[in-house]
Amino acid sequence: MAIGGVAHSLDDLARYADDTFDSVLDCTGGWYSEQTWTGIRLDHLIDGAGARSVVVGSATGYGRRFPVADLEHLWLVTALGGAPLGPGHGFPARIVAPGRRGFWWVKWVTEISRSRLPWWVQTPFPLT
């Protein structure tokens, strides 16, 4: 996975990701679930200086753009309920965005990068 242009292995992420917290996933499909996640805040992984947004990309081609000001409220997680993420939950890493709807919670993260574009230069919700 590339974070700010630097490659990180799953072992690297596991060493960094040691904060455990609870957060509610509010799925756009109409259900919700509170879970215990283990990860690291994005502001500890990527420097937002000089950027207006941070872009998170997925192995599926999906991605979301977040305001740099939100980095301290976004998490890159590698474990759910004390166990490593499974494929259905976004292995090897996913974004947990407390207070945001589920479509902001990017699964199967492959890249996190800075951008000079503002966060709102994207559709307000995914188009399928």
In eight-state DSSP terms, residue 101 is B
Domains, the chain, in order of start with CATH, read: 2-115 (3.90.420.10)
pTM: 0.92
User: Rounded to an integer, what distance in angstroms lies between the CA atom of residue 22 and that of residue 13?
Assistant: 19
Q: By C-alpha distance, which of 98, 95, 97, 124 is closest to 112?
A: 95
Q: Is the peptide bond before 84 cis (omega within 30 degrees of 0)?
A: no
Convert the pLDDT of each residue in 30-78 to its tens digit: 889 999 999 999 999 999 999 999 999 999 999 999 999 999 999 999 9
